[in-house]
Amino acid sequence: MSLISSRRNRRRSRFSRTPELSPMVMQDRDIEILSTLYDYRFLTTTQISDLFFGSRSKALRRLRQLYDNGLIERVFRPVVVGSAEVIYCLDTMGVNVLTRHLGIDREQIDWSRRSFIHLKSLFLEHALEVNRLRLAFHIAASDSADVDVLFWKYDNELQTKNERGILVSDKVTDPDDRTRKITVTPDAFFGLSTPSGKAYFFVESDMGTEDNYRFKKKMQGYLRYYLDGHYQQKYGYRAFRVLTTTTPGRLANLINTTQKAVSDRRLLPIFYFANRENIDPNNVLGQIWQTPADPGTMKGILV
| Pairing between β-strand 188-194 and β-strand 177-184 as defined by DSSP bridges | unpaired
Sorted by where each starts, the structural domains of the chain and their CATH numbers stand as: 3-119 (1.10.10.10), 145-278 (no CATH)
Q: Are 89 and 98 in contact (CB under 8 A)?
A: no
Residue 200's nearest CA partner among 233, 235, 241, 229 is 241
Residues of the chain with pLDDT under 70: 1-15, 19-22, 78-82, 106-108, 110-120, 303
Could you tell me where the DSSP H helices lie in the chain? Answer: 3-9, 28-40, 45-52, 56-68, 92-102, 113-117, 121-142, 155-158, 212-227, 230-235, 248-261
Residue 81 pLDDT? 56
Global pTM value:
0.88
pLDDT of residue 115: 60
Is residue 74 within 8 Å of 87, Cβ to Cβ? Answer: yes
Amino acid at 199: A
**pLDDT tens-place string over residues 109-121:** 766 666 655 566 7
Strands 160-161 and 167-168: antiparallel
43 to 46, 242, 297: CA distances (angstroms)? 8, 24, 33
Q: What is the predicted pLDDT for the residue at 4?
A: 41
pLDDT at residue 271, rounded to an integer: 98
CA distance 184 to 177: 16
Distance, in Å, from the CA atom of 228 to the CA atom of 224, rounded to the nearest integer, reads: 6
